[in-house]
Amino acid sequence: MEAFVAVFVTLMLLGSAAGNECTNSIYQSHTVRHKLLTSNNETWKKEMMSHYHLTPTDDSAWADLLPRKFLSEQHQHEWGMMYRKIKNMGASNAPQGLLKEVPLQDVRLQEGTIHGRAQQTNLEYLLMLDVDRLLWSFRKTAGLPTPGRPYEGKDSWEDPNSELRGHFVGHYLSASALMWATTQNDSMKEKMSAVVAGLSACQEKIGTGYLSAFPTEFFDRIEELKYAWAPYYTIHKILAGLLDQHTIAGNPQALKMVTRMVDYFYNRVMNVITKYTIHRHYQSMNEETGGMNDVLYRLYSITGDSKHLLLAHLFDKPCFLGLLAVQVFENNSCCDRIAIQSIMSYMVVAANEITGLHTNTHIPIVVGAQMRYETTGDPLYKEIGTFFMDIVNSSHSFATGGTSFGEFWGDPKRMADAFRSAENEESCTTYNMLKVSRHLFRWTKEVSYADYYERALTNGVLSIQRGTDPGVMIYMLPLGPGVSKAKSYHSWGRPFEVFWCCYGTAIESFSKLGDSIYFEEEGKDPTLYIIQYISSSFNWKSGKILLNQTVVPAASWDPYLRVTFTFSPDEEKTGTLSTLNLRIPSWTRLDGAKGILNAETLSLPTPGNFLSVTRQWNAGDKLTLQLPITIRTEALKDDRPEYASLQAILYGPYLLAGHTDNERDMKAGANTDWITPVPASYNNQLVSFSQDFGNSTIVITNSKVSLAMQNLPESGTDLALHATFRLLPTESSSKLSTLSDSIGKPVMLEPFDLPGMNVIHKGADQPLVIGDSSNDGASSVFLVVPGLDGRKETISLESQSNKGCYVYSGMSSGAGVKLSCKSGSEVSFNQATSFVAGKGLRQYDPISFVAKGVNRTFLLEPLFNFRDEFYTVYFNIQDPCPIINRWIAPPIGWDKVNSDAALAACGNWGIGIIIRDHEGCVLAAATRKIGTFADACLAEAMGVRLAIQFAILWNFLLTKLF
């Protein structure tokens, strides 16, 4: 058996290339499919469809993977035994000890918070959608009357001619069930119940159990190995939505509809297998099938019907999951020689072999595999989920936590290739990766998975909604240099005109923002894991308390996560002894961290662990956490030397993006003065200058070179940002708490997105420009005076160096702005030099920083705060330490190693001495086994500002270093 396993692993590694096309047709991209089906170019359509199903799956037969000429009959028998073990139905029991999901009905998000606003915006959108329009194509397919009109249009995936029609309705069923659970909104309940009832009428009319917005002919085509646009993908959405209506919203009618649909498709799949072979079934599944396996395992866990389990197995994709299954041998004692020596090779091979695969075809299959483990207890599928997360995070992920180049995986550790276009992170993939990590956390209770969930939710989900505009979301999240969410190929969607796949997943994501804050652990005493710090309340029934979590909004000027928990025991029940486990995120540090229960200071574990507190909670108990939020950089996952300096900047879990459309060179040192917080008071200094003429309003805007008048822009646009300036008092004693404080004071005008730059004049009748005032400070100073037009609400800006000369507009959109001195018509001059100085059209996010660049200074804000503005996520951060690779002394002697190895040496051996130069760069370090000094070493390696640190006896210093 030992030899067999060795050969099996080798075969899987060497033979996996054949599986690279598994379920991955040449035009798997949903965008290309939509263009294909709406195109009038019949020649192109014929050419593209001729490629369909040319590459069969690896699973033509399990035995075909075994080259019999290499193995004995005994090994062939063992291969067959392995097949039966993997395919065995119901022989295993569901695993024990998994954390339990808490009912979403018991969680409430706090209104007005970032998560509360996102949820409310989504609720408004769900209520905007019309039931008859959602049901139109279903009724048409069933032969029922079709009141109203469909959500049609050339860009709409719910158009009656779109082959994916109906998918969004499935998502709507899930989203509305989740939204109702967490808000108990009566209108939502009424609307989603009407959709279920309407679909039930369609199913009854058809009479076979079939239910979809398109005819059964689509399935005839894929069973004949002809093209149809992912019909099982849509069926999965409908099944999942109806199942959520049952399990979350308590609608028994929905479960009956699901079982009737599944009976129909069970018979259909069995017919294909009986008529042809199981191989033919898998060939017809060489297509995106969504999470069919996932929803069927979920259904089996409810019904216990073996048909549901069998059908779930038949929607697993062995050609893809088999590639990941190789990881199961890591802990197999019979093949330690392979596992110990080659496990990293497995990961490299697997990371390469998902290259080119359609990302969102395959992540849901892994989610289904995870559900298979939770349903049957088969450990193989536990290993698959774990290994998959490892290879994606190690080689194919962005700093957001998301993945994919457009809709595909690129080469491993070649993430810079994604920036050839602005179509980067597909939103659907983040939605599904969150599911993967959520399962893994419930199995393992490992903080790393909760940290990932926080990162992906904060940056990959919150960033795809356009502020508080209902129904305006994004398909692909741009992450390259100088990109804009409004300027990508897809740009922002429109509430009633697109209905992309990522619209469906987005409405679900924003409906379940509270579903992964709290998890329960079964046992003698109630135990609760709190893994996300989101302002909310939780009715913890087993703990017999109402728990309130209040998080102080993060701010750059207050670098701490501050969260308070208060408790209200159930009045009708006595309190019970219970345990709270609170996540201490990996991005924090112990220095400055505090935990206080009432007046008692708690001992905190190291970051990456849980703080556990057990007591009988009483009214008046107060538990507070103060966790430092650290600034750190994270390299792009690209191992080519030319991209080694591309790094993202994170503030705790928040990914920061810089306001820039081209430059991205930055110089960061070992010290932290290269990045500084924007004080809260700066928002009081933001102003926009406008003039009203007739029925229009125009404002002063900067183009990064000069100034011009433009029509008043909409909120969130790039122009709104360029129409915002900061008034900087030139006198150190002056404070501008309000705009009125500036009257009579000299000020400079700093463009919002160009910190350190100012508006400068070049003399009378010369255009105003943007530049560095350090060379000629006087030309950038203006005196704020009452408006020359005599109106109370206006001001004028007089040059301090050119008395009697004022900032002057051309009084029309597109006109330049210059410095002009009084002459000609006094009335027109006074009008052109008088402005309403109103609140800035753009405000600094509370999490805002200024970072030093090589040629300019950058304003950084969280990625989720950007709407239409241009930004850069990965900066070219220059290393100020030209010889950062210093001498590290391991116990066995001297060796020149890189900084990563230095950090590892610190963690393993402790630090003896660190010497830095004037820039804070490490000049020398000696290491030796000294136990607790390892933390000091790590702190130094992370950039603590110390010139010299001695942490060992002088004789070691003298004998080893000198």
Q: Which residue has the higher pLDDT, 230 or 50?
A: 230
Query: What is the distance between the terminal CA atoms of the chain, rounded to a whole angstrom?
Result: 57
The pLDDT of 316-333, averaged and rounded, is 64
Residue 525 and residue 579 in contact, taking contact as beta carbons nearer than 8 Å: yes
The two beta strands, 835-839 and 794-799, are antiparallel
- HEC profile of 487-532: CCCCCECCCCCCCCHHHHHHHHHCCCCCCCCEEEECCCCCEEEECC
pLDDT at 68: 36
Mean pLDDT highest for which of 78-82, 119-123, 276-280, 776-780?
A: 119-123
d(CA 667, CA 857): 10
E strands, 90-143, are 100-101, 107-109
Could you give the percent of the chain with pLDDT greater than 90? 67
pLDDT above 70 for 433: yes
pLDDT tens per residue, range 597-625: 999 999 999 999 999 999 999 999 999 99
pLDDT band, residue 322 (cuts 50/70/90)? confident
* Predicted pLDDT at 810: 85
pLDDT(37) > 90: no
Amino acid at 194: A
Taking residues 817-821, what's their average pLDDT? Answer: 94
The Cα 703–Cα 163 span in angstroms is 45
Contacts with 791 (C-beta within 8 Å, 6 or more apart), sequence order: 834
- Is the pLDDT at 917 greater than 60, yes or no? no
pLDDT of residue 532: 98
What's residue 673's pLDDT? 82
| Range in 349-358, 406-415, 948-957 with the lowest mean pLDDT | 948-957
Largest CA distance in the chain: 105
pLDDT per residue over 160-190, tens digit each?
999 999 999 999 999 999 999 999 999 999 9
In this predicted structure, what is the pLDDT of residue 35?
61
Give the model's pLDDT for residue 222: 94
**Residue 909: what pLDDT?**
35
Closest CA to 162 of 407, 493, 499, 473: 499
- The stretch 249-258 carries a mean pLDDT of 98
Q: pLDDT band for position 51 (50/70/90)? A: very low
Distance CA 674, CA 668 (A): 6
CB 821 within 8 A of CB 763: no
**pLDDT at 64 > cutoff 90:** no
Report the alpha-carbon distance of residue 318 to residue 368 in Å, rounded: 12
Name the pLDDT band for 92 (thresholds 50, 70, 90). low
What is residue 361's DSSP assignment? H
Q: Please, what is the average pLDDT of the chain?
A: 83
Distance between CA atoms of 849 and 668, rounded to whole angstroms? Answer: 14
Closest CA to 687 of 762, 759, 600, 599: 759
Query: Average pLDDT, stretch 907-913?
Result: 39
- Contact assessment for residue 747 and residue 782, using Cβ atoms and an 8 Å cutoff: yes
- Residue pair 517/531 in contact (Cβ under 8 Å)? The answer is yes
DSSP 8-state class, residue 555: B
Higher pLDDT, 950 or 924: 924
Give the span between the Cα atoms of 769 and 703, in whole angstroms. 9
DSSP 456: I
Does 113 have pLDDT greater than 90? yes
Q: Strand, coil or helix: what is 552? A: coil
CB contact at 8 A, 230 and 164: yes
CA distance linking residue 509 with residue 428, whole number of Å? 10
| Distance of alpha carbon 852 from alpha carbon 675, whole angstroms | 6
Taking the CA atoms of residue 300, residue 306, residue 311 and residue 315 in that order, the dihedral angle to the nearest 10 degrees is: 60
Residues in the chain: 962
712-748 in b/e form (b: 16+ CB < 10 A) is bbeebbbbbbbbbbbbbbeeeeeebeebebbeebbbb
* Amino acid 79: pLDDT: 45
How far is the C-alpha of 952 from the C-alpha of 656, rounded, in Å? 39
Tell me the per-residue pLDDT of 719-748, one tens digit each, with 9 for 90 and over. 999 999 999 988 765 666 667 778 889 999
Choose between 931 and 230: higher pLDDT. 230
Higher pLDDT, 503 or 283: 503
Asked if the model's pLDDT at residue 279 lies above 90, the reply is no
pLDDT at position 951 over 60:
no
Q: Which own/partner contact pairs does 487-493 have at CB distance under 8 Å and 24+ positions apart?
A: 487/422, 487/868, 487/870, 488/422, 488/423, 489/31, 489/421, 489/422, 489/423, 490/31, 490/423, 492/466, 492/868
With bands split at pLDDT 50, 70 and 90, how would you rate the model's confidence at 482? very high
Average of per-residue pLDDT across 737-765: 88
**Residue with tokens 């702190």, as numbered in its chain:** 939
Average pLDDT over residues 474-488: 96
Confidence at residue 20, expressed as pLDDT on a 0 to 100 scale = 40
Mean pLDDT in residue range 237-258: 98
pLDDT of the residue at 569 = 85
What's the rounded Cα separation, in Å, for the pair 317 and 309?
15
Report residue 92: phi and psi, to 5°.
Answer: -90, 160
d(CA 620, CA 616): 12
- Residue 353: predicted pLDDT: 75
Write the single-letter amino acid at 651: Y
Compute the distance between CA of residue 419 and CA of residue 392 in angstroms, rounded to an integer: 18
Evaluate if residue 17 carries a pLDDT over 60.
Answer: no
> What sign does the CA torsion over 385, 388, 392, 395 have?
positive
Q: How confident is the model at residue 962 (pLDDT cuts 50, 70, 90)?
A: very low
Mean pLDDT of 801-820: 92
Characterize 290-324 residue by residue with b for buried, 16 or more Cβ atoms within 10 angstroms of its Cβ, and e for exposed.
Answer: bbbbbbbbbbbbeeeeebbbbbbbbbbbbbbbbbb
d(CA 328, CA 308) in angstroms, rounded, equals 26
8 Å CB contact between 455 and 401: yes
913, pLDDT greater than 70: no
Whether 150 has a pLDDT exceeding 80, the answer reads: yes
Each residue of 639-661: pLDDT tens digit? Answer: 999 999 999 999 999 999 999 98
Judge whether residue 574 has pLDDT over 70: no
List, in order, residues 6 or more apart from 633 with CB less than 8 Å away.
647, 648, 649, 650, 668, 877
Query: Mean of the pLDDT values across residues 7-34?
Result: 44
DSSP calls for 858-916 = EEEEEGGG-SSS-BBSEEEEE-S-TT-S-EE--TT--EE--HHHHHHHHHHH-EEEEEE
At 300, is the pLDDT very low, low, confident or very high (cuts 50, 70, 90)?
very high
Residue 352 contacts residue 278 (beta carbons within 8 Å) = no
Residue 945 has pLDDT above 50, yes or no: no
**442-451 burial, b for 16+ CB within 10 Å, e for fewer?**
bbebebebbb
So what's the pLDDT on residue 629? 98
